[in-house]
Amino acid sequence: TTLPLPAPSLSLPAHPSLSSQVRLVDVRAWDTILGDRTPALVAEAWVTNDALVPIRRIVVEAEARREGRAQAYASTTCGAAVSHRLLKRLARDEIETLRTLEAPAAVEPGNRLPCQIAFAGVEPGIEEVVLRIASVEPFPGHHPHAFRPEE
């Protein structure tokens, strides 16, 4: 399945070999109602940096499926996750703003970062959520040959 690229406002000067060195772990999803009474599906995961260099601007794309068919697409820059309680107080437009916030610092090798995606306006009944790393940037100052794992 080909997922859409992140919004044009996101920067993507990523190195392709870095995406394969980042893992999504502890993935889960649930239905909720936002503060403005909009139904939403929320997916969250931890992004783990297995690369040998610090990384930043991790963009994750997600697809919500019902009966094997895509119902919604979303993308987010990881690092801005809020509690379940606060999420229920936020309105749909505030959720959209969270998608563009970047993590304040680099993710060092071996460390992890929270990632949260909300599909606002999606009715309950989604059976599957597919997440994938769309883009990862090296922290500035690292030479590209350092991105590849040793063979």
Identify the residue whose tokens are 């610090």: 54
Q: How many CB atoms lie within 10 A of CB 86?
A: 11
CA–CA dist 147, 53 (Å, integer): 7
According to the model, what pLDDT value does residue 86 have?
82
Angle in degrees, CA 88, 65, 72, rounded to 5: 60
pLDDT tens for the chain, residues 1 to 151: 333 444 433 344 556 677 788 999 999 999 999 989 999 999 999 999 998 889 888 889 999 999 989 999 998 888 877 788 888 888 888 877 777 676 677 889 999 999 989 898 888 889 899 999 988 888 776 555 545 554 4
CA–CA dist 118, 127 (Å, integer): 15
Structure letter (DSSP) for residue 95: H
Question: Would you state the structure tokens that stand for residue 43, as one six-digit string?
Answer: 């997916």
